[in-house]
Amino acid sequence: MITSRTWAGQRYAVLGLARSGTAAVRALVAGGANVIAWDKDEERRGPLAPSFQGRGWGGERHQPSGSRGASSLTAAPSPNPSPEGEGLTIADLDTVDLAGLDALVLSPGVPLNTHPLVTRARTAGLTVIGDIELFAQARADLPTHKVVGITGTNGKSTTTALVHHILRTAGVPSLMGGNIGLPILAQEPLPGGGVYVLELSSFQIDLTATLDCEVAVLLNVTPDHLDRYDGFDAYAASKARLFAMQSASHEAVIGIGDDASAKIARSLSGRGERLTKIAPGVCMDQSRWPALQGPHNAQNALAAIAVGRALGVGEQDITRGLESFSGLRHRMEQVAVRNKVSFVNDSKATNAEAAAPALGSFERVHWILGGRAKGNDLDACRPRFDRVVRAYTVGESGPHFATYLREAGVAVEEAGTVARAVEAAASAARPGEVVLLSPAAASFDQFRNFEERGDVFRACVGELA
């Protein structure tokens, strides 16, 4: 795992014990920190207890002590000594006096704008950070390396995986992490000359203060997650912080296909040749890139090419990487071809802006959409409605989307579930057409996450006669 000597003897609280939170706990304790951790989900707390047989806060069973203050805990620490460091206490953070801490580490899923613990921490003058900031702090202890940070409302997972693939194709040691794959702190450090490729959500950027990326990438900024921000401008400003943390001598790559991203690019115009702007609508021959079809993937590819060049990767290696990239599951993933009808899983398209380019990638589409809507309209998709043979709405937003589409002149069937939508679309589709799951909505009304939704789609396609 990745650790830092600067954490030794420090006191941290960690809230949220999903993958990144658990990795942060393990890394901090391995680095000699004292940690108190909590998650309201008992199943997430459970796996830590056998691993960390904590003496708690440096051996004290109920409270941290020292010049920074003391805290009373209502829950006892884990029972045995940790083999990795000073120890861990698992306790409800609502019972802890935060004045005894050095920092509060949040899972990116914890809302900064509404969670009461965040308010308490800020009132106590406590630094609130995430696992990416811990990685930034640990960089001084790592072998010589570079970091690529990639953000944007849409396309960042594909672009992150593509950059990672191009680097490995070129023989450059590379790891990807952040909002994709294994948490970065849980991975083994790269040898000298390696590149860490990080997908960064706005939530992760909000919890980061010192990450100076050698290459920072912004693909686009369109309305999303507005329940976590005081309006769209605040959301865009969160994305822009990736460049504010960056040294001016480092490389910036920005797509300028939307007003917010173009504005951010203009603010960085003083960087001169260190700024690469990616214009929309660039004509490209994507025929040799089977996993990178559609206009959105043209932008993703251009961003990855710019990153590769900034890192000194040769043109032949970049080309080989683009051609051999196999894509990611749930992102324009062709899962089957039946009777010359293609079935494409784009479950990751959780807003209209992400679904629009998917519709634009095919001529005749049977479109499965719906879920928990992030907005009231499908305006971003409207220019592609002429490609929709029929739409099949599902989930919580199904009735609303159906009304919207009918008013726009699109034929609609209110299927309700993915299973019924697949069956109906498969029955109606003709050779050469595409059945596309690109929901333009989140999955949480019917599924745990977009991955489960995509897996259900895949299974339903597999069950077709």
User: Any residues with CB less than 8 A from the CB of 119 and at least 6 apart, and which?
Assistant: none
CATH code at position 352? 3.90.190.20
Active-site residue identified among 156, 296, 330, 374: 156
Structural domain ending residue among the three candidates 79, 109, 129: 129
| 292 and 192 co-located in one domain | yes
Q: Does residue 270 belong to any structural domain of this protein?
A: yes
What's phi and psi for 430, nearest 5 deg?
-115, 160
Range in 94-98, 246-250, 255-259, 264-268 the model is least confident about: 94-98
pLDDT at site 280: 80
Q: Terminal CA-to-CA distance of the chain, rounded, Å?
A: 47
Range of the domain at 23: 7-129
pLDDT at site 51: 53
Q: What is the DSSP letter of 143?
A: P
pLDDT at site 159: 96
pLDDT band at 77 (very low <50, low <70, confident <90, very high): very low
pLDDT at 413 over 90: yes
Active-site residue identified among 225, 263, 277, 400: 225
Is 351 noted as a catalytic residue in this protein? no
| 290 and 347 co-located in one domain | no
| Token pair recorded at residue 359 | 């519709």
Determine the Cα–Cα distance for residues 243 and 454; give it in Å rounded to an integer: 33
Virtual CA dihedral for 418, 424, 430, 432, nearest 10 degrees? 0
Q: What is the DSSP letter of 62?
A: S
Is 179 noted as a catalytic residue in this protein? yes
What's phi and psi for 253, nearest 5 deg?
-125, 120
| 399 and 308 co-located in one domain | no
Structural domain ending residue among the three candidates 256, 290, 324: 324
pLDDT at site 194: 98
- Concatenating the DSSP letter of every residue in 397-416 gives THHHHHHHHHHTT--EEEEE
| 32 and 107 co-located in one domain | yes
Q: Are 353 and 326 in contact (CB under 8 A)?
A: no
| 346 and 366 co-located in one domain | yes
pLDDT at site 282: 66
Q: Does residue 74 belong to any structural domain of this protein?
A: yes
Tell me: the pLDDT tens digits for 357-397? Answer: 899 889 999 999 999 998 889 999 999 999 999 999 999 99
| 428 and 296 co-located in one domain | no
| 121 and 167 co-located in one domain | no
pLDDT at 161 over 80: yes
> What Rg value do the Cα atoms of the chain yield, rounded?
24
pLDDT at site 350: 94
Structural domain ending residue among the three candidates 79, 110, 129: 129
| 268 and 143 co-located in one domain | yes
Strands in 295-349 per DSSP E: 333-338, 341-345
| Token pair recorded at residue 73 | 């805990």
What's phi and psi for 43, nearest 5 deg?
-65, -30
pLDDT at 167 over 90: yes
| 116 and 225 co-located in one domain | no
Domain count, the chain: 3
pLDDT band at 326 (very low <50, low <70, confident <90, very high): confident
Tell me: the pLDDT tens digits for 178-216? Answer: 999 899 999 999 999 999 999 999 999 999 999 999 999
More confident position, 325 or 284: 325
| 200 and 315 co-located in one domain | yes
Active-site residue identified among 34, 179, 297, 351: 179
pLDDT band at 463 (very low <50, low <70, confident <90, very high): very high
User: Any residues with CB less than 8 A from the CB of 361 and at least 6 apart, and which?
Assistant: 293, 294, 295, 332
Q: Does residue 2 belong to any structural domain of this protein?
A: no
Is 156 noted as a catalytic residue in this protein? yes
Determine the Cα–Cα distance for residues 123 and 274; give it in Å rounded to an integer: 39
Q: Rounded mean pLDDT of 275-282?
A: 86
pLDDT at site 169: 97
pLDDT at 226 over 70: yes
| 300 and 151 co-located in one domain | yes
Q: Rounded mean pLDDT of 30-43?
A: 93
pLDDT at 278 over 70: yes
| 287 and 403 co-located in one domain | no
pTM of the model: 0.80
